[in-house]
């Protein structure tokens, strides 16, 4: 990982903490585990937050060098993320189309179950996190059914945490669909941030202990 990429990952963690999107304490996960931290991307809920978040998505995409032709945002959380990221990429000189799906197909007007650009070519899925992987699976099926190629997934934070088996949700997507998953930041980046903040020592110890119990090994992007 080059230094610039490391810096923007750390900047993202600081941004998320500052917006109280990333919090520390004791939180119960869907798996019933008591986690020492919680990440809620839904709290990026004003114009300036979304603008900055989209810039981080764009940075992560451009730093990955992953070839793609368009963006797709799964309803509902992925819709503003894909739109914002398309704007941020255009500001960086990369103008690409984007599309998103409806929860229910429309049977009047233009019809169909997608809105925006036609799904074609290499499609990059933009989402907040991967937990059970349901949103990614549905997106991949939809994209393939339209004759396009899902080429990767971009998320905000990879918790690097085991699911029901030995793999994390991100690793399961990579293994099942054979596509890369790009994260703006990972648990490793979170630990790096905590190490640099002396007042966060207690949180650092708690997150390390949680990682030792439920974590998976980091992987190169």
Per-residue pLDDT at 105: 60
Which entry of 20, 30, 103, 108 is annotated as an active-site residue?
A: 108
Per-residue pLDDT at 187: 95
Which entry of 19, 30, 106, 118 is annotated as an active-site residue?
A: 106
**Which tokens belong to 8?**
């923007």
List, run by run, the mean pLDDT of 10-residue segments along the chain (221 residues).
Answer: 67 96 93 93 96 97 97 95 98 97 64 87 96 88 97 97 89 95 96 95 97 82 44
Please give the CATH topology (third level) of the domain spanning 3-214: Rossmann fold (3.40.50)
In terms of C-beta density within 10 A (0-12 exposed, 13-18 middle, 19 or more buried), how is residue 98 classed? buried
pTM: predicted TM-score of the whole model, two decimal places: 0.91
Domain coordinates in residue numbering, the chain: 3-214
Judge whether 106 counts as a catalytic residue. yes
């Amino acid at each position: 990982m080059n230094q610039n990429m490391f810096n923007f990952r750390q900047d993202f963690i600081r941004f998320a903490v500052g917006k109280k999107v990333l919090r520390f304490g004791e939180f119960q996960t869907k798996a019933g585990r008591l986690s020492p931290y919680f990440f809620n991307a839904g709290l990026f809920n004003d114009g300036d937050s979304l603008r900055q978040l989209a810039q981080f998505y764009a940075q992560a995409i451009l730093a990955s060098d992953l070839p793609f032709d368009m963006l797709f945002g799964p309803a509902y959380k992925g819709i503003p993320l894909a739109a914002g990221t398309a704007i941020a990429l255009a500001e960086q000189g990369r103008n690409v189309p984007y599309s998103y799906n409806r929860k229910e197909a429309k049977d009047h007007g233009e019809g169909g179950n997608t809105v925006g650009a036609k799904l074609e070519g290499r499609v990059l899925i933009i989402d907040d996190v991967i937990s059970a992987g349901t949103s990614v699976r549905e997106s991949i099926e939809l994209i393939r059914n339209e004759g396009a190629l899902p080429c990767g997934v971009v998320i905000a934070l990879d918790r690097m945490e085991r699911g029901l088996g030995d793999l994390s949700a991100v690793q399961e997507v990579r293994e099942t669909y054979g596509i890369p998953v790009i994260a703006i930041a990972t648990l490793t980046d979170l630990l790096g941030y905590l190490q640099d903040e002396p007042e966060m020592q207690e949180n650092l110890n708690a997150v390390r202990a949680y990682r030792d119990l439920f974590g998976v090994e980091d992987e190169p992007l």
